[in-house]
Amino acid sequence: MNRKIHVRTQSHQYSAHVGQNILSDALEATLPSQSIDELFVLIDDNVFEHHWPEIDMALQAHTNQLLRMKVPEGEKSKSVEFWSEVMDFLLNNKVRRNTPLIVIGGGVTGDLGGFAAATALRGLPLIHIPTTLLAMVDSSIGGKTGVNHDAGKNLIGSFYQPETVIADTRFLDTLPEREWINGLSEILKYAAISDQNIFRQAEIFLKKDFKSADPVVLIELITTCIKIKADIVEQDEFEGGIRAYLNFGHTFAHALEKASRYNTISHGEAVFLGMLAAKNLSELTGSNFAEDYLDKFRSLYTYRVSKENLSLDELTQHMHSDKKRTGKDLNFVLLKEWQHPVVKTVKDIQLIHQAWSAALNEL
Ligand code: GLY
């Protein structure tokens, strides 16, 4: 089963392919039929360890020369220093403007590689091969690229759309459970802001052996999420309006990630807590939810941070340095009701602290 979603943004149109064992066919559909002189590949270290022979075979069919650079696991690779190493790799090997850069990995490799593609020679054709659930449903779609700065996450970057995205679910076989749960947070985000049915579809994660779930169910779920994101990005590529809804839970999450120095809480864990906090703040500012649809997923998350080590003042301070802030007040994506996101300014710091406090009880 192979699903294809068209993403038509103002700046670019492309397809996202989703399926199992689709890599060769999707490359066939993407790359020119005659062999390309060179292909540049950025690949996550872990994906290289587990999958290189099959990836190599699929790519060798299209080129005379494959130039490869590995990206070490972890947020530290999303730095200006490592971006500069990627530039050395591309430029010292005389990359040309029409040479595709193929970026294979999760969110870190994708954001870094996307930014490298956007900046080398003012833009190389970019092919994303996301290998984590999070990257398949979220970060590989929509053109956000970038690296981190000491002042905060993703503060250096650009919007740069890929030529194509190939989400082959075979890569998920070797993904640790914790990484699946990271991706689940973004899936639940789509459920909360856009499609109630996803809460039910996501119940596959509540089964003990969710990693061996029916591939068709998983492909449908990933496809649904990509369609929602594509639809939003098509209407608002550069986040002047409704694209902000995709940040539901993220203002809280980015503060948590920063407070834990990007190493004791993963992005997905932070987003789940962030969504709980955003839902609390929605209630504190007037919304009423008859049901708590996030509740049944709480037990899937385990945390390596404790409430005692986090200060509400520090967390709120970090929210003030979030890049999405435009004025002096804090803006949040909240829910009027499920699937009705709204952007609200909240001036009352006590309410924000209460929202944090209730969410941090999970820790
Ligand atoms: N991850 C949110 C966005 O791409 O806008």
CATH assignment of the domain containing 337 = 1.20.1090.10
Which ligand 1 atom sits closest to the C-alpha of 243? 5
- Confidence (pLDDT) at 32: 80
Identify which of 111, 246, 333 to mutate to test ligand 1's pocket (most ligand atoms within 8 A of the CB).
Answer: 246
- Return the half-sphere exposure (C-beta side, CA atoms, 13 A cut-off) of residue 161: 19
Which ligand 1 atom sits closest to the C-alpha of 244? 5
Q: How far is the CA of 139 from the centre of ligand 1 (A)?
A: 7
- Confidence (pLDDT) at 251: 94
Identify which of 133, 158, 229, 236 to mutate to test ligand 1's pocket (most ligand atoms within 8 A of the CB).
Answer: 229
Q: 271 and 146: one domain?
A: no
- Confidence (pLDDT) at 213: 87
Name the residue at shortest CA distance from atom 2 of ligand 1. 246
115 conformational bin, left if phi > 0, alpha if psi -120 to 50, beta if neither: alpha
Q: From residue 285, how far is each of 193, 280, 282, 307 by CA, in Å? A: 17, 9, 5, 24
Q: 156 and 64: one domain?
A: yes
Q: How far is the CA of 304 from the centre of ligand 1 (A)?
A: 25
What type of residue sits at position 352?
I
Identify which of 137, 247, 257, 343 to mutate to test ligand 1's pocket (most ligand atoms within 8 A of the CB).
Answer: 247
What amino acid positions are annotated as catalytic residues? 122, 144, 186, 229, 239, 243, 247, 250, 254, 267
Which ligand 1 atom sits closest to the C-alpha of 246? 2
Is there a contact between 89 and 119 (Cβ–Cβ < 8 Å)? no
Q: Assess whether the C-beta atom of 237 lies below 6 angstroms from ligand 1.
A: no
Q: Final residue of a domain: which of 175, 196, 214?
A: 175
Residue 185 is assigned to a structural domain of this protein: no
Q: Assess whether the C-beta atom of 111 lies below 6 angstroms from ligand 1.
A: no
- Confidence (pLDDT) at 261: 86
SS3 327: coil
Is there a contact between 64 and 31 (Cβ–Cβ < 8 Å)? no
Query: By 3-state DSSP, what share of the chain in percent is helix, strand and coil, each rounded to 5?
Result: 50, 20, 30
Name the residue at shortest CA distance from atom 3 of ligand 1. 246
* CATH classification at residue 26: 3.40.50.1970
Q: How far is the C-alpha of 106 from the C-alpha of 129, rounded, in Å? A: 9
pLDDT, tens only, 304-337: 999 988 999 999 999 987 766 667 789 999 999 9
Number of independent structural domains in the chain: 2
Q: Assess whether the C-beta atom of 142 lies below 6 angstroms from ligand 1.
A: yes
- Confidence (pLDDT) at 329: 84
- Confidence (pLDDT) at 262: 83
- Confidence (pLDDT) at 152: 80
Q: How far is the C-alpha of 128 from the C-alpha of 64, rounded, in Å? A: 21
The H helix count followed by the E strand count for the chain is 12, 11
Mark out the alpha helices in 61-196 (DSSP H runs): 80-92, 107-119, 133-134, 177-193
Residue 249 is assigned to a structural domain of this protein: yes
Identify which of 132, 133, 138 to mutate to test ligand 1's pocket (most ligand atoms within 8 A of the CB).
Answer: 138
Q: Assess whether the C-beta atom of 243 lies below 6 angstroms from ligand 1.
A: yes
Q: 267 and 138: one domain?
A: no
Residue 224 is assigned to a structural domain of this protein: no
Q: How far is the C-alpha of 104 from the C-alpha of 210, rounded, in Å? A: 24
Residue 186 is assigned to a structural domain of this protein: no
Q: Assess whether the C-beta atom of 144 lies below 6 angstroms from ligand 1.
A: yes
Is there a contact between 338 and 195 (Cβ–Cβ < 8 Å)? no
Q: Which domain holds residue 294?
A: 238-360
Q: 14 and 146: one domain?
A: yes
Residue 101 is assigned to a structural domain of this protein: yes
- Confidence (pLDDT) at 244: 97
Question: Angle 312-320/349-360 helices, nearest 10 degrees?
Answer: 120
Q: Are strands 126-130 and 164-168 parallel, antiparallel or unpaired?
A: parallel
Q: 92 and 170: one domain?
A: yes
Q: How far is the CA of 318 from the centre of ligand 1 (A)?
A: 19
Per-residue pLDDT of the chain (363 residues; tens, 9 = 90+): 899 999 999 989 999 999 999 999 999 999 987 888 999 999 999 999 999 999 999 999 999 899 999 999 998 999 999 999 999 999 999 999 999 999 999 999 999 999 999 999 999 999 999 999 999 999 999 999 999 988 888 999 999 999 999 999 999 999 999 999 999 999 999 999 999 999 999 999 999 999 988 999 999 999 999 999 999 999 999 999 999 999 999 999 999 998 998 889 999 999 999 999 999 999 999 999 999 999 999 999 999 999 988 999 999 999 987 766 667 789 999 999 999 999 999 999 999 999 999 999 988
Q: 144 and 279: one domain?
A: no
Q: Assess whether the C-beta atom of 17 lies below 6 angstroms from ligand 1.
A: no
